[in-house]
Amino acid sequence: MAGLGAICLACYFRLSAVEWLVLIVAIALVFCAEALNTALERVVDLLEPGRHPLARDAKDLAAAGVLMASLAALIVGVILFGPRLLGLLFK
């Protein structure tokens, strides 16, 4: 949903080609991280259906990767849209 919102804002603010590229890469990074996280969780569940500390750690690290990608995308969004949104608020 956040990616769709960012794309709508990008259309509204008419981002430049380079800004679009950065935005699309940020969104794709989050999707890739989430896909890898899901794949790793499924493989871990297949190999270790019960509770195991190493399985838990692997899942936690994969989830941390998604969190880092999401935070990076948030920073990109703040850099791209922050000044524009503030400009709308304080006109």
Question: Quick one: CA dihedral 25, 70, 79, 12, positive or negative?
Answer: positive
Q: What is the model's pLDDT at position 48?
A: 87
pLDDT at 50: 87
pLDDT at 91: 76
Cβ-in-10-Å burial (0-12, 13-18, 19+) of 77 comes to: buried
The pLDDT tens digits for 26-80 are 999 999 999 999 999 999 999 988 889 999 999 999 999 999 999 999 999 999 9
Domain count within the chain = 1
Q: Which of 19, 34, 41, 48 is catalytic?
A: 34
Dist CA 49 CA 19 (whole Å): 44
What is the reported pTM?
A: 0.88
**What domain range includes position 60?**
2-89
The CATH number assigned to the domain holding 35 equals: 1.10.287.3610
User: DSSP alpha helices (H): ranges in 14-52?
Assistant: 17-47
34 is catalytic: yes
